[in-house]
Structure 1
Amino acid sequence: LTSLISAPPPAPLPAKSWFKSTASSPELTESRRVGLEAYLRAIAEGPDRRWRETSVWRSFLNLPSSTSSGSSARGELEVAYQRGSAGQAAQEPQVWLDLHREMKGLLQDARMFLGRRDGATTAHAQYEAGADAKRCLVKAAGLLGNLEEGLKIMEEGEKRGQAGKIGQGELRRRKDLLGSARVERDGLEKLAVSLAAKSHKAASGSGAATQQDKNALFGPGVSKPGGRVLGVPVPETAKTKELDNNGVVQLQKQMMQDQDQDVEELAKIVRRQKEMGYAIHGELEEQNEMLRRMDEDVDRVQGKLAVAKKRVAKIS
């Protein structure tokens, strides 16, 4: 892994002992097992995906390749749908991650379609983009329910004291992922509904205006307006009524300066908002890193306590 990624994994492999053999020392065997478990968990549950996406890692754990993991997870979910146990399929950690990745992709597609709908110039394009966005949101909602059910099954197994496939820290992390995905999905749903109402209102309003324009232009009894009258000056406004040519030029320059100042003020506000966003992002990254380290420390201490309890039991 180090040679492929050009960086060591987040946790080291358990060290070998030159004085004892694991075949004759149960304590050494248990210690190496705990170290190997910590090594595997650090790679499988860490935020950096580089090591667990290598072919060496996936072949060592007998996992499908990264290109086929999404399709295999989808196939397993379809089979589970036919059996009526979609949540059971999502309780596998790797399948859960693949389904979550697919759900995030659907949410991104929905956001893209909503953007297309907002920028569409024809009613047909708006309808197609809105339908595609709704389809993605419905699929994402179904996957979100399956992920919640699968995570609930994992948590219940952990509470019953069964051999957990993931730790408590990973359970909390996945709960946070589902919470943020649920918020994002609800926000996109509200955005889709508001855009639909706005487009319907605009379409109805524009249709009425168009009909009025037709009646005003081509209705019966409408006389044709006369042609342009040359030599008639442009009507004065309240601001330019008492100004000469130089005054009008000065007024135009003043208006342009005011507009430039407004643009500069708006740019300052945007820059401040951008800096605040970067600061919030950095703080969140730091907090996530601290939580990840705390989870690793908790898992490490739990492993050491388990080894100590076994040694105390043997001594007593």
Structure 2
Amino acid sequence: MASSDTWIKEYNEAARIADDINGMISERISLPASGPETQRHASAIRRKITILGTRLDGLQSLLSRPTGKPLTDKEMNRRKDMVANLRSKANQMASAFNMSNFANRESLLGPETKQDAMSRTVGLDNSGLVGLQRQIMKEQDEGLEKLEETVMSTKHIALAVNEELDLHTRLIDDLDEHVDVTDSRLRVNTCY
């Protein structure tokens, strides 16, 4: 029963994150079309979507290797549906922000079993070779555009992590200062 409670708590937390993301997306309308505030907001949304994806992976993992009291087939299917529905929402939100980290490798780089360039040139004349070269260049340009989207998404995540680290550093410094003050007060009070 404890693992079941853990799963429910994890699911509720993931659902709360999804609700937060929806709220943040709604807030986005009130922000200017561009600018640092808009970029920070978009980065925060992307970060939350990534966190949600990680939580959903964890929920899926808990379902695949249950511990404790076994679940009925009906309950297992219900939970799988709950995760699938939440993952569908996460994928929709990710696609709205062109987040390629939710896409698989093949959609980014293409399948690994592509024909090699030499086998594609067999039987082509000069004009066919030029046409093939143009097609290859077009494919490469599309790949670079997808790569650019990935790099931009990574940049936004890195900026959000940097902001978070700066905040944590300030909080730790404040805590350290408060501890020093409290320590000196305790020393003064213990002397009396």
TM-score by length of 1: 0.29
TM-score by length of 2: 0.47
Report 1 or 2 for greater relative contact order, CA contacts < 8 Å, sequence distance ≥ 6: 2
